[in-house]
Amino acid sequence: MQDNHKIALNVKRLTEFRHDLHMYPELKFKEYRTSEKIAEFLTALDIPFQRGLATTGIVGTIYGLNRSADNPGPAIGIRADIDALPMEEVNDFEYVSKHKGCMHACGHDGHTAMLLGAAELLSADRNFDGTVHLIFQPGEEGGAGARVMMNEGLFEKFPCQAVFALHNWPDLPQGEMGIKSGPIMASGITFDIIVQGKGGHAALPHSTIDPVPIACFIVTQLQSLVSRRINPLDAAVLTVGKIEAGSSPNIIPAEARISGTCRTLTDETQLLLLEGIKRISRYVAEAHDAQAEVIIHGEGYPNTTNHPEQANFMASVMCEMVGEDKANTNVLPAMTAEDFGFMLKEVPGAYGWIGNGNSNISGGELHSTTYDFNDQNLQLGAYFWEKLARQWFLTEAKKS
């Protein structure tokens, strides 16, 4: 990144802010301190904001020259997630989490700080024709905070013609960025399968209907769904993460519970998997004189599918920012899920990656007990968001 920007970013303050968030992480919809810190930062920049969407969400608004609430002009939304994870951090640096059993293991502290850095840059020079909405979203980790904010009127109160987001990505070296048109992250949906048998004494299996081996048969057969029912050129993941049954080694239980998740890049493939889970569970159980009930937990997270025009625009800004050799504009999609997909179903936009580097700096993979956001991305991310916003008003807003 060339350091030829008109406005100097206070990187030291931004780093200290990020470290403070890391020390005091908060779980979904309980990000009260985090929200307060964001509000204090925006207040110092004289940026108006509204709090309360999805409990702890906060939206700051920066008006360009000659623009106001009554005359906002074209508007762009930039989103950062603010919540942490229920994990115990094992790092030993000075800003390690002080909240037991809670840590920023996905880098949302960095996302928040990058967007506040962009707020600093954009508010210092408002020579753009339009409005920037800074969306600080709670509850991304399993709470579908994006959908909650939308249900509470996010885009009615803050209309956007386009919306964008970035996620730090350990599989990309620091200094690189990535994006693609179409699906970039998978849908994520969880399920339970309850196998109902007949309990009894472990020494008298013939008088019972043992749900444990039936559950095992179901799990084994579920593996054939991806390998034999999904097009090899498509992508899908079906994982059983938990099996629960019984209370004692000499008792055959009456019930066994299977819990899992499936991830797909298209709605059609998701439907195929869910129908297969129900079909296999039912008929394997019936073959053993038992019953199986499949519970699908809500709608899950949709695919994060980038709109082509906005993805191409975001890719062009990445190329300008880090150079074409470090901007991967056709990254392989990831099978992780992200609730920004809800926003992309309502507003055109795109979601990209900023390389965090899988090294001693980052502490390995996302959701690792040693993970940490790479502070070198604070400056890169802030200037990227500034460039994207200004460039959007110059070129893309006129197309809308």
Q: What is the mean pLDDT of residues 58-71?
A: 97
- The two tokens of residue 113 are 């700080």
Q: What is d(CA 377, CA 389) in angstroms, rounded to the nearest whole number?
A: 18
At residue 230, the pLDDT reads 94
Instruction: Identify any residues that bridge with 270 across adjacent strands, giving them in sequence order.
Output: none
Tens of pLDDT, residues 333-389: 999 999 999 999 999 999 999 999 976 667 789 999 999 999 999 999 999 999 999
Q: What is d(CA 378, CA 9) in angstroms, rounded to the nearest whole number?
A: 10
- Is residue 16 included in any domain, yes or no? yes
- Is residue 2 included in any domain, yes or no? no
Q: What is d(CA 322, CA 398) in angstroms, rounded to the nearest whole number?
A: 25
- Is residue 5 included in any domain, yes or no? no
SS3 content of the chain, % helix, strand, coil (to 5): 35, 25, 40
Q: Are both 382 and 351 inside the same structural domain?
A: yes
Q: What is d(CA 320, CA 311) in angstroms, rounded to the nearest whole number?
A: 14
- Is residue 342 included in any domain, yes or no? yes
State pTM to two decimals.
0.93
- Is residue 4 included in any domain, yes or no? no
Long-range contacts of residues 282-290, Cβ cutoff 8 Å, at least 24 apart: 284/214, 284/217, 284/218, 284/221, 285/195, 285/196, 285/214, 285/218, 288/197, 288/209, 288/213, 288/214, 288/217, 289/209, 290/195, 290/196, 290/197, 290/209, 290/211, 290/214
Task: Report phi then psi at 13, rounded to 5.
Answer: -65, -40
Q: What is d(CA 18, CA 244) in angstroms, rounded to the nearest whole number?
A: 40
Q: What's 34's domain CATH number?
A: 3.40.630.10
- Is residue 346 included in any domain, yes or no? yes
Q: Are both 16 and 148 inside the same structural domain?
A: yes
At residue 2, the pLDDT reads 47
**Three-class SS of residue 350?**
strand
Q: Are both 266 and 379 inside the same structural domain?
A: no
Arithmetic mean of pLDDT over the chain: 96
Q: Are 336 and 351 in contact (CB under 8 A)?
A: no
- The total of other beta-carbon atoms located within 10 Å of residue 250's CB is 8
Nearest CA among 130, 145, 150, 1 for reference residue 64: 130
**Do the strands 162-169 and 349-355 form a parallel or antiparallel pair, or are they unpaired?**
parallel
Q: Are both 266 and 321 inside the same structural domain?
A: no
Instruction: Find where tokens 């990209």 sit.
Output: 352
Q: What's 283's domain CATH number?
A: 3.30.70.360
Q: What is the mean pLDDT of residues 59-84?
A: 97
At residue 85, the pLDDT reads 98
Domain stop point among 296, 317, 345: 296
User: Could you tell me the residue range of the domain that residue 260 belongs to?
Assistant: 186-296
Q: Are both 327 and 373 inside the same structural domain?
A: yes
- Is residue 206 included in any domain, yes or no? yes
Domain stop point among 296, 316, 343: 296
Q: Are 136 and 115 in contact (CB under 8 A)?
A: yes
Tens of pLDDT, residues 100-139: 999 999 999 999 999 999 999 999 999 999 999 999 999 9
Q: Are both 216 and 271 inside the same structural domain?
A: yes
At residue 326, the pLDDT reads 98
pLDDT bucket at 307, cuts 50 / 70 / 90:
very high
Q: Are both 290 and 314 inside the same structural domain?
A: no
At residue 359, the pLDDT reads 67
Q: How many domains does the chain have?
A: 2
Tens of pLDDT, residues 138-150: 999 999 999 999 9
Distances (CA, A) of 14 to 8, 38, 123, 275, 297: 12, 12, 15, 48, 39
pLDDT score of 12 more than 50: yes
Q: Are both 268 and 381 inside the same structural domain?
A: no
At residue 1, the pLDDT reads 52
The HSE-up count of residue 225 (CA atoms within 13 Å, CB side) is 28
Q: Are both 287 and 326 inside the same structural domain?
A: no
At residue 167, the pLDDT reads 98
Q: Are both 177 and 326 inside the same structural domain?
A: yes
Q: Are both 285 and 311 inside the same structural domain?
A: no
At residue 399, the pLDDT reads 79
Q: Are both 134 and 191 inside the same structural domain?
A: no
Tens of pLDDT, residues 177-207: 999 999 999 999 999 999 999 999 999 999 9
- Is residue 302 included in any domain, yes or no? no
Domain stop point among 277, 296, 315: 296
- List CB contacts of 379: < 8 A, sequence separation 6 or more: 1, 9, 11, 14, 117
